[in-house]
Structure 1
């Protein structure tokens, strides 16, 4: 169980493992965040996850040693979350895929960074050898953060996403490899 209190720019928030009772807030939060930015893969309402769906995700992520579901909470309100999802296939069992989202009103408080740093620490301590993620090419702040935390660009998926402006955008594929012990 992860739990860490963070003070940043006058905001106090907690990064912690998701629990069953978070499912209701997470369902509403994901829908709201999907409507706030085009950096994510979904349009508002697409791939909707209801409360029982989040309950199942939390249960699975709690039981599987290669999964991690974190939330960021301000005064009892969940304002962001992240997931690391591992693989059951043996050939991919060394890696996880990371995703993160934070309410727009809480951008700039280091919430995404702290969710990612907590995930990196967890991955390094549990023997995960690689973390991978996808990021929209126009999300310069995220790409810069990922690079600062040890991720490197592994490739670009050209014309991967069609956004509301009718244009296609590339997806940047990034990966971070666990430090090797000498």
Structure 2
């Protein structure tokens, strides 16, 4: 198995869009309902160009045997009081979970944030998503609170934990 974690490039636009669609379609707890994420190629290219050229945004991808199998997005702001923190989201294809890809994406994220002088990484995760919570806790993230009724999936409301990792 050849696994590489790297920053996304503009050449990844089609494979990245396909990856996102697959992850959203197969996940129980992501933001999009199955079939709802259908960006135009023009939008995907312009969005990816914005990410690649911004010092405050990044997408890390996990590439296995020349195929994208996971991603992690990093969003920060150029505001003095909050420039030290990043908000992340991530996803790994179901069939690739359990092989350490999520952990490697989180490790690369910590390195990226440290390089960009960030000391706080935060995320939200649905409280029922036990495997993701275990991954984040193993990576050193701590639950800081619970937000109620943040997602509505198939008519049912779900809560999310706010989790954070502090870089020393």
| TM-score, structure 1 as length reference | 0.84
1:141 aligns with 2:141: no
Q: Residues 35 and 154 of structure 1: is their aligned pair in 2 closer, same or farther, counting only changes over 3 Å?
A: same
List runs of 5+ in structure 2 lacking aligned partners. none
Q: Which of residues 38, 51, 73 is equivalent to 1:83?
A: 73
Aligned residues: 168
1:60 aligns with 2:50: yes
Q: Which of residues 72, 83, 104 is equivalent to 2:62?
A: 72
Superposed displacement of residue 27, structure 1: 1.2
1:127 aligns with 2:117: yes
Aligned equivalent of 2:157: 168
Aligned equivalent of 2:82: 92
Let me know the Cα RMSD of the aligned residues: 1.6
Superposed displacement of residue 47, structure 1: 4.8
Question: Whole-Å Cα distance in 1 between the matches of residues 121 and 85 of structure 2?
Answer: 6
Superposed displacement of residue 171, structure 1: 0.6
Contact 2:21–2:37, Cα closer than 8 Å, also in 1: no
List runs of 5+ in structure 1 lacking aligned partners. 1-10
SS class of match (1:92)? coil
Q: Residues 50 and 71 of structure 1: is their aligned pair in 2 closer, same or farther, counting only changes over 3 Å?
A: farther
For each residue in 1:17-51, what CA deviation from the matched residue of structure 2 results, as whole angstroms up to 9, or x when unmatched?
A: 10001001111221111110122111123353333
Aligned equivalent of 2:94: 104
Contact 1:82–1:101, Cα closer than 8 Å, also in 2: yes
Question: Whole-Å Cα distance in 2 between the matches of residues 172 and 156 of structure 1?
Answer: 4
Contact 1:13–1:73, Cα closer than 8 Å, also in 2: yes
Q: Residues 157 and 46 of structure 1: is their aligned pair in 2 closer, same or farther, counting only changes over 3 Å?
A: same
The structure, 1 or 2, with the larger RCO (C-alpha pairs under 8 Å, 6+ apart) is: 2
Q: Residues 49 and 92 of structure 1: is their aligned pair in 2 closer, same or farther, counting only changes over 3 Å?
A: farther
